[in-house]
Amino acid sequence: MSKVIRCEDLYKSYPLGRDNEVVALTGINLSIEKGTLTLITGPSGSGKTTLLSIIGTLERPTKGRVIINDRTVNELSDAALARLRRDTMGFLFQDYNLIPRLPAWENVTYPLIPLGINSSERKKRALQLLEMLGLSHRYTHTPEQLSGGERQRLSLARALVNDPEILLLDEPTSNIDHKTAEKIMQLLRELRENGKSIIISSHDGHLLSEADQTFQLSGGRLVE
């Protein structure tokens, strides 16, 4: 299997005042194969979300390299990174990050706009995904009118709308009931079988059995 993502000696720190800094990640080395489900686990504050953000090119590492499909993404321009996200990635954020006061189906379609897809096609794709995730009856509802679980599924629909090669999911099964979590896991299994690479950041122990590989983070370091 080919490596879809490689992280080499990754460091990330955030300045805190003039002389201090918070070190979020230290010396991370990992590789993820295409068509696998990878779990990044660890306690709160261990750096899971930071690692996911760096792999997803939402921010740059302080040191080290991230290689996606044999391209070192640290060297890419902001515009190239945006293209990379648009063409190959889908995100599910821990706090959903949905656009408020915008109908559910429109929230799903926004990633398709830069691709130049016409509005009827955008709507069609959005409705298909909402149907698949059991939200079709809520398609005109705004995020404020949805429950936590529904928002999570809506956020997942948006992550899937551009048919990404890599799915980055931050705590995808938190805030939802067991039945819905199982439905989502079934969907993720299908996506994996279709060759998608799925990276999940979670402290949900149930996901361990689903993962092809697991990385445990503690204090910003990988634990063997």
Partner 1 sequence: MKTMGILTVATANLLRHRLRTFVVVICLVVIITPFVSALALLEGIKKEAMISVQEGADLYVTMDMYGRNGMIPMEVADEIKKINGVLKAVPRVISRIYVEGRLCVLLGIPLDEIEETVKIIKGELPDDGEIVVGRALAKALGLEVGSNLSLGVRVTAIIDHSPFIMKRVYRVSGIFDTDTSIWSSDLILTGIDDAISIYEMEDFVSDIAVYVAPSRLQDVADTIQQMNAYFRIQSKSIAKQYVKRGFNRKGGIFVLLYTFAFILAIPVMLIVSGTGLTERKKEMAILKATGWQTDEVLQMAFFENTIIALISAPASVLISYIWLKLFNGAFIAQMFIAEIENIAPFRIPVQFTFGTFLMAIFFSLIFTLVGSIYSTWRTATTPPAEVLR
Q: Where do contacts with partner 1 occur on this chain (CB under 8 A)?
A: 53, 56, 58-60, 78-79, 82-83, 85-87, 89, 91, 93, 97-102, 106, 110-119, 122, 158, 162
In the complex, the smallest distance separating the C-beta of residue 18 from partner 1, rounded to whole angstroms, is 19
Q: Which is nearer to partner 1, 11 or 110 (CB)?
A: 110
Query: What is the DSSP code string of the chain?
Result: --EEEEEEEEEEEEEETTTEEEEEEEEEEEEEETT-EEEEE-STTSSHHHHHHHHTTSS--SEEEEEETTEEGGGS-HHHHHHHHHHHEEEE-TT--PPTTS-HHHHHHGGGGGGT--HHHHHHHHHHHHHHTT-GGGTT--GGGS-HHHHHHHHHHHHHTT--SEEEEESTTTTS-HHHHHHHHHHHHHHHHTT-EEEEE---GGGGGT-SEEEEEETTEEE-
In the complex, the smallest distance separating the C-beta of residue 176 from partner 1, rounded to whole angstroms, is 21
Q: Which is nearer to partner 1, 123 or 183 (CB)?
A: 123
Rg of the chain, C-alpha, whole Å: 17
Q: Which is nearer to partner 1, 26 or 88 (CB)?
A: 88
In the complex, the smallest distance separating the C-beta of residue 61 from partner 1, rounded to whole angstroms, is 11
In the complex, the smallest distance separating the C-beta of residue 122 from partner 1, rounded to whole angstroms, is 8
Structure tokens at 41: 């686990």
Q: Which is nearer to partner 1, 49 or 211 (CB)?
A: 49
Q: Which is nearer to partner 1, 101 or 179 (CB)?
A: 101
Are 105 and 139 spatial neighbours (Cβ–Cβ below 8 Å)?
A: yes
Are 133 and 190 spatial neighbours (Cβ–Cβ below 8 Å)?
A: no
Q: Which is nearer to partner 1, 96 or 185 (CB)?
A: 96
In the complex, the smallest distance separating the C-beta of residue 149 from partner 1, rounded to whole angstroms, is 20
